[in-house]
């Protein structure tokens, strides 16, 4: 199937994020969508031509995970943001679970920010293990590596340089502060409420 890039123009004007930074970021995301479609098309041609055992097929199949995750992770990221943000309801099931699993909401936030401030490029994520229900802050280095198997992605913060350097240079902590003010917790809570529960 062909994927279509979503519009996130409603995020323009978000405090702490210049329109130039956001537009550049949107363009990068659109590139992942285009490349996902291109890789899919090339894989289909190789299959039709009977070349599924070729090195070209193998490399494209491996590349697909990078491009597809690059597309989807950006959709989660932009999807859990809103100009001005939406506060977390302290009485919500998500807030109670965060406090239970991390000791307090403040402890969860300190941990999430610490993961985001680590050296390196990647993503900082809040996942839920559908088997145990445990909430986990995780680091994803490359788009296609570092995901907990079966985990449900609830929230994500992009910490590749393109997400902040145009506005903040090397001051990643200032970017993280701006991101926290732009989190749409209603979206994150809805993801949590809809998360599947598994019995392994």
**How far is it, in rounded angstroms, from Cα 141 to Cα 69?**
12
Please report the pLDDT score of residue 179 as a whole number.
98
**How far is it, in rounded angstroms, from Cα 153 to Cα 125?**
7
pLDDT(147) > 90: no
Mean pLDDT of 114-126: 96
Q: What is the mean pLDDT of the chain?
A: 95
**How far is it, in rounded angstroms, from Cα 123 to Cα 78?**
13
SS3 state of residue 169: coil
Q: What tokens appear for 37 in the block?
A: 């479609």
Share of the chain above pLDDT 90, in %: 90
Please report the pLDDT score of residue 159 as a whole number.
96
- Rounding to the nearest 10 degrees, give the CA dihedral for residues 156, 174, 105, 91: -80
Please report the pLDDT score of residue 199 as a whole number.
60
pLDDT(125) > 90: yes
Q: What tokens appear for 6 in the block?
A: 């979503």
Tokens 């701006």 correspond to 178
Q: What is the DSSP string of 30-85?
A: HHHHHHHHHHHHHHHHHHHTT-TTSHHHHHHHHHHHHHHHHHHHHHHHHHTB-TT-
What confidence tier does 70 reach under pLDDT thresholds 50, 70, 90?
A: very high
Q: What tokens appear for 183 in the block?
A: 């989190």
Q: What is the pTM of this model?
A: 0.94
pLDDT(200) > 70: no
Please report the pLDDT score of residue 146 as a whole number.
83
Share of the chain above pLDDT 70, in %: 99
Mean pLDDT of 66-87: 97
CATH 3.55.40.20 fits 93-194, yes or no: yes
Mean pLDDT of 74-95: 97
Q: Judge whether 5 and 33 are in contact, CB under 8 Å.
A: yes
Which is higher by pLDDT, 176 or 142? 176
Q: What tokens appear for 152 in the block?
A: 């449900």
What confidence tier does 81 reach under pLDDT thresholds 50, 70, 90?
A: very high
């Amino acid at each position: 199937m062909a994927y279509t890039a979503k519009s996130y123009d409603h995020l323009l004007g978000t405090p702490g994020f210049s329109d130039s930074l956001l537009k550049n970021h949107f363009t990068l995301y659109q590139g992942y969508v285009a490349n996902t479609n291109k890789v899919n098309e090339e894989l289909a041609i190789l299959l039709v031509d009977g070349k599924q055992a070729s090195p070209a097929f193998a490399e494209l199949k491996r590349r697909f995970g990078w491009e597809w995750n690059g597309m989807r992770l950006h959709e989660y990221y932009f999807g859990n943001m809103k100009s001005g943000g939406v506060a977390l309801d302290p009485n919500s099931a998500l807030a109670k679970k965060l406090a239970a699993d991390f000791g307090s909401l403040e402890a969860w936030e300190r941990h999430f920010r610490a993961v985001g401030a680590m050296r390196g490029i990647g993503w900082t994520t809040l996942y839920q293990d559908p088997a145990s229900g445990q909430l986990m802050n995780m680091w994803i280095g490359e788009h296609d590596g570092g995901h907990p198997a079966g985990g449900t992605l609830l929230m994500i913060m992009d910490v590749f340089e393109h997400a902040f350097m145009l506005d903040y240079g090397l001051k990643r902590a200032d970017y993280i502060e701006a991101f926290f003010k732009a989190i749409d917790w209603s979206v994150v809570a809805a993801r949590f409420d809809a998360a599947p529960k598994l019995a392994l």
